[in-house]
Structure 1
Amino acid sequence: MNTKAMYKLSYGLFVCTVVNGDKKNGCITNTAVQVASDPNRISLAINKANLTHDMLKETGKCNISVLSTDASFDTFKHFGFQSGRDVDKFASFTDFKLADNGIPYITKGTNAYFSLNVEKEVDLGSHTLFICEPVFMDVLADTPSCTYEYYQNNIKPKPQPVGETPKGETIWKCTICGYEYVGEDMPDDFICPICKHPKDDFEKIIR
């Protein structure tokens, strides 16, 4: 079974932002989809390993900022390659405004945002699927939305071939975020500590 067929599915890319008390947080996701039009409903799947997941379950409210082709790799790194459990993602980040629900939405490299209220939750194992009612939405720019394919081909830096380390150890590189695992073999249940993707999304880099 060729699991790379998954890369052929079409995805948009978004920043899901949440607030719980004084804590603001957000993460990159590719799972926001309109699933019904009458009434209008949007589904959103968030990895349970993310702090954003726990905050959304607690508060039942979030914003989704739609990333555009103007988005920089720095935005992806800021919201996707570090955990809100370790850093305050909004401590020095200024490219946002507060929506009427008190939750940030991203203003740079985005073309729209949605304010969502959670109506239902479905446990999907690694993720929770949130079925949400959009209570507000607005267009921010006419720039095309950033697809996952566009991100891979035009925004994400191309990996540099590194092959073996000076010690002769094999490097496995995450094709999603670039995290490197050093070792001849990877455990089957290995999860990337940065982007939370599994072993299937790692490749051995040959010099």
Structure 2
Amino acid sequence: MDPKAFFKLSYGVYIVSSSTDGKDGGCVINTMTQVTSSPARISIALNKNNFTLKLIETSGTFSGVVLAEAVEMDMIKRFGFQSGREASKYEDIPMGRDSLYNPYPTENVCSRFTCRVISSLDVGTHVLIIGEVVEAQVMDGTAQPLTYANYHLKKNGTTPPNAPSYQETTEKTVGYRCSVCGYILESDTLPDDFICPVCGKDASYFSKL
């Protein structure tokens, strides 16, 4: 089986969020999909280790936003490469709350959705959640959605290990890998002052391949 075949599947880039007992959380995913139109239902898949999944399972609700191409990598880093167990994802950024009290970012967002969980399915490393849409709003009608392909092509984005599309590479590469986000610096040497361009960690977080 050629794992590169999966790279041809088309994805968007989204942030899903929830709130429980005064704790807000959210994460970046590429697995938000409309599954029916009447009633309107959306599916998402989250890693079992993901703190946002725990919030959704407790609250029974979640928000989902479609990120625009103009979104900064700092936003991807904030929601995609740190855990909500330690970090306050929504601190000091523009945000809103939907009718079910779920938080959601408001900048560089094409549209947003509010969902109630109606079912879930254990699919191994991840949990597939089906949500019934109770709110849907276009946030910016002129913005182009960020595709997963352009996230990699235009923003040099990497895939976190918790993502459903993450794959271990079997190819021999000379360089150093970031232990936080998986970014690979293809080089024979690692400068002492090197900073990861994706998650911002210093050289001490890199290991030789």
- The TM-score with structure 2 as length reference comes to 0.76
- 1:101 counterpart residue number: 100
Q: Which aligned pairs between 1:24-35 and structure 2 lie closer than 5 A?
A: 24-35=24-35
C-alpha RMSD of the superposition = 2.6
- 1:138 counterpart residue number: 137
3-state SS of 2:154 partner: helix
Q: Distance in 2 between matches of 1:17 and 1:42?
A: 14
Q: Which aligned pairs between 1:34-49 and structure 2 lie closer than 5 A?
A: 34-49=34-49
3-state SS of 2:182 partner: coil
3-state SS of 1:58 partner: helix
Identity %: 34
CA drift of 1:96 comes to 1.1
Give the counterpart letter for 2:27 in structure 1: C
Give the counterpart letter for 1:112 in structure 2: S
Give the counterpart letter for 2:182 in structure 1: G
- 1:154 counterpart residue number: 154
CA drift of 1:180 comes to 5.9
Give the counterpart letter for 1:116 in structure 2: C
- 1:190 counterpart residue number: none
Is the 1:123–1:129 contact (alpha carbons within 8 Å) kept by the matching residues of 2? yes
* Unaligned runs of at least 5 residues, structure 1: 165-170, 182-194, 196-203
Count of aligned pairs between the two proteins: 174
3-state SS of 1:155 partner: coil
Q: Distance in 2 between matches of 1:172 and 1:157?
A: 14
CA drift of 1:80 comes to 0.3
Encode CA deviations 1:180-202: one digit per residue, 9 max, x unaligned: 69xxxxxxxxxxxxx9xxxxxxx
* Unaligned runs of at least 5 residues, structure 2: 159-172, 186-198, 200-207
Poorly superposed stretches of 4+, deviation over 2 Å: 171-174, 176-181
Give the counterpart letter for 1:117 in structure 2: R
Is the 1:73–1:156 contact (alpha carbons within 8 Å) kept by the matching residues of 2? no
Encode CA deviations 1:92-123: one digit per residue, 9 max, x unaligned: 3x221112221111111111000010000111
CA drift of 1:147 comes to 0.6
